[in-house]
Structure 1
């Protein structure tokens, strides 16, 4: 019985030594390193932009990515603040997938020679862009966070057929109407409206625009009517 017990212990020791040897051999082989990297879930960011922010390359051990995934995710979000979350997956033993969730972009603001992204809580992402991205509106003159959040929420809730046509929002208050806003549309028309009612009234925009013989102004401040641009002489 004692002899059998010693034999079992010996076999267990040999097994663990073999496992350690295999593990060490694995760590020293190309099989332990990342081979291909793919990025899923990006919308406004580029895949290579995300990969660069993670600082993962083909010399990185796949195992270390998962051991360090929390710190890699934090580093990536710090580098690219428009990222909400980062996670990692693997397939084919050596291929790594970086799964990204971005904050919803509701427009851009231009200041100091750069464009900055506005996300769905009215927050401005501190990430400089030399040129505008996507088909998002630009906000001008909305200097307070409260005003910016209000107008970006209005944009967020517009019908899709109207939303994709919006080019730029301008804060344009007057003494008579401190709530006045102007909107440049991608189809060439301009809208004058009241920020308190513009979300509800913009649903009428497609119908009014379709009846206009020339490009012009659609006034939604009081009622809803349109008139063509004045011809330049």
Structure 2
């Protein structure tokens, strides 16, 4: 018969005192004002405002770091629901008093104008249901687009060369009987573009070179072929 002997776990007096003191300090810390958030730093925001993110998290100077760390997943989900343009959000602490909120945003692909208000468009053509009195940043305005075509056009815009994207001011859905895919584009440099949604991505890369050769502001027609002509002088 094998007899198993119980091992005795011995804790030294000094170790026991240290553990007790540590627990007391921990309880005192989380029970005092020192455990409350002192400063909040928001990292990674581009089109969103830092205060906008803080407001959505519901974190203020009465919030404790322990509560934030314990409930960080639910806080993240609530914030992402309040601000759909947020792709992900995480929290980390500094100095046991300060909080850093790291944010990753979905890229903004422009704005659509409806009923006197602007609405942000993010990847996949998703329209954020939050009214804005004016657009922000250097993004295009989409006009006269239905949901399906808006999704397609915004995805096309996302894949344009950066030197072309920054010059796009407004994109109009402008179909005709002969070409239901026709679009018109106002450029920030004063020129206008006529194009076909099916070929605009491949053809717009030639825009900078064509615009540089134009002696006057005018229209660059990329619908069939590629040529330009100046605006008619107003009499």
- TM-score by length of structure 1 reads 0.91
Q: Where do 1:80-95 residues align within 5 Å? A: 80-95=83-98
Q: Where do 1:1-233 residues align within 5 Å? A: 17-143=20-146, 145-233=147-235
Aligned length: 227
Q: How far apart are residue 16 of structure 1 and its match? A: 5.3
Unpaired segments ≥5 residues, structure 2: 1-7
1:114–1:128: 8 Å Cα contact kept in structure 2?
A: yes
How big is the alpha-carbon RMSD for the aligned residues of Structure 1 and Structure 2?
1.9
Unpaired segments ≥5 residues, structure 1: none
2:109–2:121: 8 Å Cα contact kept in structure 1?
A: yes
1:140–1:169: 8 Å Cα contact kept in structure 2?
A: yes
SS of the aligned residue for 1:139 comes to strand
1:116–1:125: 8 Å Cα contact kept in structure 2?
A: yes
SS of the aligned residue for 1:192 comes to strand
Structure 1 residue runs of 4 or more that deviate by more than 6 Å after TM superposition: 9-13
1:81–1:127: 8 Å Cα contact kept in structure 2?
A: no
SS of the aligned residue for 2:127 comes to coil
Q: How far apart are residue 230 of structure 1 and its match? A: 1.2
Q: Deviations over 1:37-71 (max 9, x none)?
A: 00011110011111111111122111111011112
Question: Distance between the aligned counterparts of 2:227 and 2:107, measured in 1?
Answer: 33
2:30–2:66: 8 Å Cα contact kept in structure 1?
A: no
Q: Deviations over 1:162-196 (max 9, x none)?
A: 11000011000111111110000000000001111
Q: How far apart are residue 18 of structure 1 and its match? A: 3.5
Structure 1 residues 225 and 21: CA distance shift in structure 2, 3 A: same
1:137–1:167: 8 Å Cα contact kept in structure 2?
A: yes
1:69–1:88: 8 Å Cα contact kept in structure 2?
A: yes
Q: Deviations over 1:2-29 (max 9, x none)?
A: xxx9x95987776655444322211232
